[in-house]
A and B are shown apart, each in its own frame.
Chain A
Amino acid sequence: MSHNTDNGVVEAVEGEQSDAARLAHDESQLPAHRPRRTDYDPRAAKRAERQVAIMFGLSAVFTILFVVAFVQVGTEEVLRIPFFGTFGRSNLYLGLTFGLATLLIGTGAIHWAKKLMNDHEVVAERHPLRSPDESREEAVAAFEAGAEDSGFASRPIIRRSLLGAMALFPIPLVMVLRDLGPLPGKVLEETAWKPGMRIVGADSGIAIKPSDIPVGGIVQAIPADLPEIQEIEGNLNSRAKDVVLLVRMNPADIVSQQGGTAEEPWDFNGIMCFSRICTHVGCPIALYEQRSHHLLCPCHQSTFDLADSANVVFGPAARELPQLPIMLDAEGYFVARDGFNQPVGPSYWERS
């Protein structure tokens, strides 16, 4: 067994021994070498040699087959395999041929090493990783000589001014990152919803009447201006923020809403409108479970009760989904009565 001193130098317990003597001792301690079949039976050795050569040879064959498959098989061709389905032929053939070509080189080399290469275990000496004390002293002396020559220690104003300059130096490297993006400002509090903004179908773009939505129905909707906003801004930011859900339930089932009065209700005959951006981390929600009036987010299972102010009833979201007050315009289509009275989407530091 080894013995470790406090400073970690490895010493042998048996006292001073030369490297060679120690190695010889260790080697004699190794379990006896068991000869392999291929060591004493020349036919077995020849067979192993053939096996390795066959593997390498097959690899070459598969490489050629890869070339054939690449040239012959189009990417649209398919092949049906029972139980597993229909695969793309090109990907399958290219993968099989190249894969086997590569694999066989590996198995050939390993088989060669295992069966035919010398398998006598060898012992080598480990040398201490810690430098000898003399080296350490010499290194320290070299460093001190260099430090002395530089005058770093003896010239304080050079030292301090250098440190000062180097300390400030990284500032431009950080400063130039300022224009990575605009400052957040109040942007997160605003959406495209303004009073009177028409509510239209998310993919159809068509305006919505109350009679379009039966009890138990939902409609994914967007502000009518959204396509124009996307065109101007050249990105999908509006879709990540302004999307809403219209849901209809029996008015008797509604327990509470986030606002509204008898004269200016936020719903219309049991049809309510909520932001569709989850207040947890922003996934778009639309798993409406009709029977329970629950809206489930597929990302982390936050569940909101749409009949009760979209309050959270399960899951990691902490806040209710903001409700958009709605009413009908003169032609009988849904419009926003007002914008949202709170920011939509995930919470952030500045949100009060």
Chain B
Amino acid sequence: MSAVIDAAGKAVGGLDDRITLANWSKRNLRKVFPDHWTFMFGEMALYSFIILLLTGIYLSLWFKPSMTEVIYNGSYVPLKGLKMSEAFSSSLNISFDIRGGLLLRQMHHWAAMLFIASMSIHVIRVFFTGAFRKPREINWTIGVLLLTLGFVEGFAGYSLPDDLLSGTGLRIAEGIMLSVPVVGTYVSFFAFGGEFPGDIFISRLYGIHILLLPGIILALITAHLLIVWYQKHTQYPGKGKTNENVVGYPFMPVYMAKAGGFFFVVFGVTVLISGLVTINPIWAYGPYVPDQITAGSQPDWYMGWLEGALRIMPNWETVAFGHTISWNVFIPGAIVMGIVITLLALYPKIEATATGDHGEHHLLDRPRNAPTRTGLGVMALTFYVMLLIAGGNDILAKNFDLSINAITWFTRIGIFIVPPLMFMVTKRICLALQRRDHDLLLHGAESGSIVRLPHGEFIEVHQPISAEQKAVILSKPDVVPIPWPEKVDDNGVRPPTYRKDKLAARLSHWFYQDNVALPTPEQIEAAEHHIIESAEEGAPIIAHRAQLEPEGGVLHDPSAAALLEADKETVSTQ
């Protein structure tokens, strides 16, 4: 063992001679990382991507990305003798004639689904905790780019085997390209090398899928991680946590073990589900032939929202002056996606402008303390989920005995009604929680003990909240809306930026509407005295109860089991 340490020491010394390794190591080996389970979603995405890279490299050793027609002669009997592209044939080969090949294919596909799912919950966590605020706007933008590239990469990836299901998806993509005004036909003909399906598209997708996009994604992930490393991770509010410090565990050994271990957990879970659950059974779909199709033709889940938009869009088309604009395809296919992603990318700027808050934030927001933001987030998620439902409307109809036309109409109308409803409900819930926090500070927490005082009054004994809980509640930032601009300045002239300032003020007043301010420190102190007094009033009765039930009674947990045990004993002796 000591020989190994000596050798390692020599190697590290050699590195330090060349790249000043010790300087970096002394600062960073014990770097502090806050520890919370919601901080692991980004890691899930990172590890899924690593799995994708690894399994992708292995798959590329056997996959043939060509649309050249071959006759299948492998071991899957129901397709034997059929004409198909080399891409499909080599995918069948991987699935049936390479040991571990099917496992690799399924791992790659499950990891892709997990990659985008983890990025999604990561985005959701970052949004609802306000972690995108200064100084992390750059990372937010990188993240939105990563999410978008993830969609494209996934779409390209599952189209490579050239099976019936994914080929249908390519056909739809081509139809969307055609719908683009002015340049649509050119885009489509250039992409496919002519009409659909042509003979080159799979090869083009391959280069994009294994080289171009992974390269860009890898570069973006590296930048994303470097920025997190440099800026230090955000942390949840709590006792001892401030905006100027970071509380957690050192990188070596705790974080290395937990994060490294989590990599193996993500990897292991991916392999396990790849051994146990089928995904994308291309042999059952058959090779892509443009005049065949299956019921339930959906893209992978992360494109489901676009599919839903395509399904519920009314059939509007304008034909004028010898040209056609297919609103029914162009809007859901391109515009909706463009608007959503743009809004997502710009949100930090929008919120900063709307609130006037340009400060640095390293302490996370509790969602209840930003009710408008939380409401907007829930509204967006509701919109997304309604589109997902619309995208699966035929599967829902078949399995739950519903009319597919009814589901379509439900989502067509619901998509405008339900999200604003959810916004209002969410905002009200957040404000109610703020009021509860306010009350907790001033009145303490209910202890569950109802006490009758000697003069007959019933009271519920309140206890002061714990120091940790108090610190968390008090972390709520003071919010001040942008002040209304002066209509005219001292000389009676209207300021040139008046309109803009008024709009900003109006936005920020809306954003902070109904905010429940925390009580002042004096009020809190006065309240704490009151709580302690009322606790003292109930103290004699509580002490008396404590005498009767020395183990603490049912409300106090550790003894509950003991009491029940004692109870059982007495029963059995009767």
Q: Do chains A and B touch in the complex (CB under 8 A)?
A: yes
Interface of A toward B, CB cutoff 8 Å = 1-2, 4-6, 8-10, 12, 22-23, 26-31, 70, 75-76, 87-88, 90-96, 98-110, 112-114, 117-119, 121-126, 129, 177, 180-184, 187-188, 202, 220, 222, 234-237, 239-241, 243, 276, 280-284, 286-287, 298-302, 312, 314-319, 345-352
- B173's nearest neighbour on chain A, judged by CB, is A281
For A183, the chain B residues whose CB sits under 8 A away are: 186, 189
- B360 and A9 within 8 A (CB): yes
CB distance from A94 to the nearest CB of B (A): 5
Contact present for A122 and B249 (CB under 8 Å)? yes
Binary CB contact string for chain B from 252 to 273 against chain A (1 if under 8 A, 0 otherwise):
0110011011111111111110
B176 at the interface (CB under 8 A from A): yes
- B26 CB, nearest partner CB in chain A, Å: 14
B314 at interface (Cβ–Cβ under 8 A)?
Answer: yes
B247 CB–A CB distance under 8 Å: yes
Residues of B contacting A180 in the complex (Cβ-Cβ under 8 angstroms): 190-191, 193
Residues of A within 8 Å of B184, CB to CB, are: 348-349
CB proximity of A273 to chain B, nearest CB, Å:
15
Report if B134 contacts A (CB, 8 A).
Answer: yes
Q: Is B25 an interface residue (CB 8 A)?
A: no
User: What is the chain A residue whose CB lies nearest that of B391?
Assistant: A300
Please state if A182 and B194 are interface contacts (CB–CB under 8 Å): yes
Known interface pairs A109-B260, A235-B198. Does A349 touch B180 (Cβ–Cβ under 8 Å)? Answer: yes
Residues of chain A with a CB closer than 8 A to B153's CB: none
Give every chain A residue within 8 A of B183 (Cβ-Cβ): 349
Could you tell me if A184 and B75 are in contact, using CB atoms closer than 8 angstroms? no
Whether B73 sits at the interface, judged by CB under 8 Å, is: no
Distance in angstroms between the alpha carbons of A287 and B185 in the assembled complex: 28
B116 at the interface (CB under 8 A from A): no
Contact in complex: A350, B323 (CB < 8 Å): yes
Whole-angstrom distance from the CB of B312 to the nearest CB of chain A?
8
Residues of A within 8 Å of B9, CB to CB, are none
- Whether A94 touches B275, Cβ cut-off 8 Å, given contacts A1-B475, A281-B172, A318-B317, is yes
> How far is B242's CA from A130's CA once the two chains are assembled, in angstroms?
18
> Is the Cβ of B245 less than 8 Å from the Cβ of A23?
yes
Out of B264, B310, B315, B478, name the residue touching A103 (CB < 8 Å).
Answer: B264
11 A–B contacts, CB within 8 A, in A order = A102-B271, A105-B261, A118-B254, A126-B246, A237-B197, A298-B297, A299-B168, A301-B311, A302-B315, A349-B185, A352-B322
Are A282 and B174 touching (Cβ within 8 A)?
A: yes
Q: B359 contacts the other chain (Cβ, under 8 Å)?
A: yes
Given A30-B239, A95-B103, A110-B262, A276 contacting B291 (CB threshold 8 A): yes
Measured between beta carbons, the chain A residues less than 8 angstroms from B322 are: 350, 352
Known: A122-B248, A281-B329. A300 touches B258 (CB 8 A): no
User: Contacts A70-B100, A347-B324: A243 and B245 contacting too (C-beta < 8 A)?
Assistant: no
User: B511 — which chain A residues lie within 8 A by C-beta?
Assistant: none
- In the complex, the answer to whether B268 meets A240 with C-beta atoms within 8 Å is no
Q: Is the CB of B296 within 8 A of A349?
A: no
B179 with A346: CB separation less than 8 A: yes
**What residues of chain A lie closer than 8 Å to B264, measured between beta carbons?**
102-103, 105-107, 109
A113 CB contacts on chain B under 8 angstroms: 253-254, 257-258, 261
Say if the beta carbon of B192 comes within 8 Å of chain A. Answer: yes
Interface residues of B in 135-171 (CB under 8 A from A): 135, 168, 171
Extra 5 A-B pairs, beta carbons < 8 Å, given A113-B257, A281-B179:
A29-B239, A90-B99, A96-B272, A109-B261, A181-B189
A1 touches B477 (CB 8 A): yes
Given contact pairs A70-B100, A281-B329, A350-B185, A236 touches B268 in the complex (Cβ within 8 A): no
Question: For the complex, what is the distance from the CA of A240 to the CA of B170, rounded to whole Å?
Answer: 12
Most interface-central of B244, B319, B474 (chain A CB within 10 A) = B244
Contact with A along B451-464 (1 / 0, CB 8 A): 00000000000000
The answer to whether A349 and B245 touch (CB under 8 A), given A8-B359, A187-B195, is no
Q: How far is the CA of A47 from the CA of B360 in the complex (A)?
A: 46
A318 — which chain B residues lie within 8 A by C-beta?
A: 315-317, 326, 328
Counting CB contacts under 8 A, is B448 at the interface? no
Q: How far is the CA of A181 from the CA of B199 in the complex (A)?
A: 11
B349 within 8 A of partner (CB): no
Known interface pairs A31-B468, A98-B271. Does A126 touch B244 (Cβ–Cβ under 8 Å)?
yes
Residue of A nearest to B69 (CB): A234
Q: For residue B294, which residue of chain A has the nearest CB?
A: A298
Q: Which listed residue (A241, A276, A316) contacts B328, Cβ 8 A?
A: A316
The 8 A CB mask of B222-234 against A (1 = contact, 0 = none) is 0000000001100
Question: Quick check: B311 and A281 within 8 Å, CB to CB?
Answer: no
> Does B182 lie at the interface of the complex (its beta carbon under 8 Å from any beta carbon of A)?
yes
Complex Cα–Cα for A125 and B32 (A): 9
Name the residue of chain B whose CB is nearest to the CB of A287.
B295
Q: A107-B265, A283-B168, A284-B293 are in contact. Are A4 and B325 (CB under 8 A)?
A: no
Q: Is the CB of A4 within 8 A of B328?
A: no
B327 to chain A, nearest CB (A): 8
Highest count of chain B CB atoms <10 Å: which of A12, A96, A105: A105
